[in-house]
Amino acid sequence: MFEKLKQRWKVNGLNLVLIIATFALGGSLCGYAGRKILMFTGLEKGALWIILYVLLITLLWPICVLLISIPLGQFTFFRKYIVKIWGKISGRNHKTGSKITQIAIFASGAGSNAQQIINHFNASENIKIALVVCNKPGAGVLTIAEKSGNPSLLIEKERFASGDAYLTELAKYKIDFIVLAGFLWKMPVNLIQAYQKKIVNIHPALLPKYGGKGMYGNRVHEAVIAANETQSGITIHYVDEIYDHGEIIFQATCEVAANETAASLAQKIHVLEHANFPRVIAEILQK
């Protein structure tokens, strides 16, 4: 745990100890100050006292921590830390004040595209991967989310297709934009209406050919090879009510060799996906 904190905060062992001490002492000072202030109100301990106490320590915590951080030499760290927390709460870039775009990645499988997207936006100040949504327990993408520190949501089909489509959860995470990265369920109408032109998908072939229900993974590549196509590729498109039908945003191509197999073609497609999907998402969001 301590090694992870050192890496996350980019500090050495001594500074980590001082940071933890600042958290502890600042929290204690905050609690002490809150109780002292409430003593002057004459309130007896009860529901109102607890509510006021919670509000007080919430307001006092940044001040107390900053005060403790000065003699411990951690003022710069905690100033940045508090500003960053405020940015997360307000949903705005703590440096520029501009709104941060919150992305939800929907995926069903191993999550190689999700991993590339997470890596691409990891250092972004204006775009954040706020949630990873998956419909398969044990899918690799859930492990990726856990390792990268991204919240995840496991969904079930009835609520997704016939219920509220988890719009409540998406609102909780303040999701602005949805990326489908190997997500195999059809998007319900109420979700599409709530996020019009804010849902994009990547398809492992050149649409409008080789799209539609059931056309995913090796099925697509086998169909391309069976049709003796000399080219395949990827299509990034907006999502509408019909499978693989929405407006095309970007396409990239690769050669289909004479001796091509579904597995070898899949590798070529993965290269195109990883090279282009994160970049195109960034371009869409910067418009």
**Residue 76: exposure state from Cβ atoms within 10 A (0-12, 13-18, ≥19):** exposed
Q: What is the DSSP string of 76-145?
A: HHHHHHHHHHHHHHHTB-TTT-PBPEEEEEEE-SS-HHHHHHHHHHTT-SSEEEEEEEESSTT-HHHHHH
C-alpha–C-alpha distance, residues 268 and 257, integer Å:
11
C-alpha–C-alpha distance, residues 130 and 243, integer Å:
25
Q: Which of 120, 203, 270, 274 is the catalytic position?
A: 203
C-alpha–C-alpha distance, residues 175 and 86, integer Å:
18
Verify whether residue 203 is a known catalytic residue: yes
Q: In 95-116, which positions are buried (b, 16+ CB within 10 angstroms) versus exposed (e)?
A: eeeeebbbbbbbbbbebbbbbb
Phi, psi of 152 (to 5 degrees): -130, 155
C-alpha–C-alpha distance, residues 140 and 261, integer Å:
25
Q: What is the pairing mode between strands 152-154 and 231-238?
A: unpaired
Best CA proximity match to 233, nearest among 256, 262, 206: 206
Catalytic residue numbers read 203
